[in-house]
A and B are shown apart, each in its own frame.
Chain A
């Protein structure tokens, strides 16, 4: 039975359409009171694309990172990405791949500290895509920037061109790859927004892990959809992008820096 204070949220009467929406979408988004939304994160589904359908430019995937919520010693997103995508290191930090890393900042003048994860920013106009000689570095229609490792020749020009140092070169033989994430020696790789999950209607590993096991600093969704959580947050709060001056329009947006 609902308590009186919450009764308002339940009316108007639930009609069949709303019931189906709530059941079918699976995203239990409920307005508790004006401006407060409960999201059940473990069930957060974005959108399942029908098989046989190409990625569409109607969608622009984005990731909102609230650096205010990150702590210096938390690396859950990094560990999750590493587990999910299988880029275990060899104990050689200079040549080991790092798809996502925690960057700790300290303001030189004021001493204020902030910590945040940095990964491939999935730019709108990626310089890595511009410079790749074979076209292996590519942007998918829905904004996810990928490396087509079938045609990557390992020239590392994209690594020179990336302003965010997002890409890693695979310096050693790779074994026991995840079946959904092929990776091999001599090619370049970076964060894929867990495209294998996104295409199946899930969210990236870092977002899920942060929400489940840490502070919920990451929000993933469709920036072109005004009703998505990320769009609402981006239109409500002041956000910025790293190296916004370059005009690359990254899909990764930050609060708190």
Chain B
């Protein structure tokens, strides 16, 4: 009985009827990952769990195994995700994790979308100014004049006479 089952199982695999191997999307940018592929496949979970505690609990920023950096390189568009209009890591992480049936919890809280470029300038262009009185900074002409002269002196590198 067992032999029949085993024989049957191997026959079907040989015929290619098994679960298709995962095909994670190629990275959006970058030539290679921060670690070799084999190492990352095996240890990316450990790296992430270790670094998340360092970042959050100890406040250490800028270390190598950053989830946001993963997303920056590995997020791609996919027709399944919002009709291919946004870059997410769904086509990358989900492929292998679905195959291995390992549920990950990251993206209930972390966004999987690739970040837009960081905006410069005022952080809050849409917030109307509430201060109906004279604005507090930047319009004091004498102060502006002083600042300008100071800047000029700094550039000159010598005190004003």
Contact = CB atoms under 8 A, between A and B. Distances in A.
Whether the complex brings A and B within 8 Å at their CB atoms is answered yes
Interface of A: 1-3, 6-7, 9-11, 13-14, 19, 22-23, 28, 30, 32, 38-42, 49, 51-55, 71, 74, 76, 79-80, 83-84, 138, 140-142, 146, 148-150, 174-180, 182-187, 195, 199-200, 205, 208-209, 211-216
A182 B109 contact: yes
A212 B122 contact: yes
B130 A213 contact: yes
Interface string B59-99: 11111000010010000000000000000000000000000
A42 B135 CA distance: 13
Given A141-B59, A212-B122, A177 B137 contact: no
B56 A80 contact: no
Contacts of B54: 54
A178 B61 CA distance: 17
Contacts of A19: 154, 157
Interface of B: 52-54, 56-63, 68, 71, 108-111, 113, 115, 122-124, 126-131, 136-138, 140, 142-143, 145-147, 149-150, 153-154, 157-160
A199 to B, nearest CB: 5
What is the interface of chain B mostly: helix, strand, loop, or mixed? loop
A176 to B, nearest CB: 6
Contacts of B143: 32, 38
A184 B104 CA distance: 14
B130 A74 contact: yes
14 contacts: A3-B142, A7-B160, A10-B160, A13-B158, A39-B137, A54-B59, A54-B60, A80-B124, A138-B57, A176-B111, A195-B59, A199-B59, A199-B61, A208-B124
Contacts of A199: 59, 61
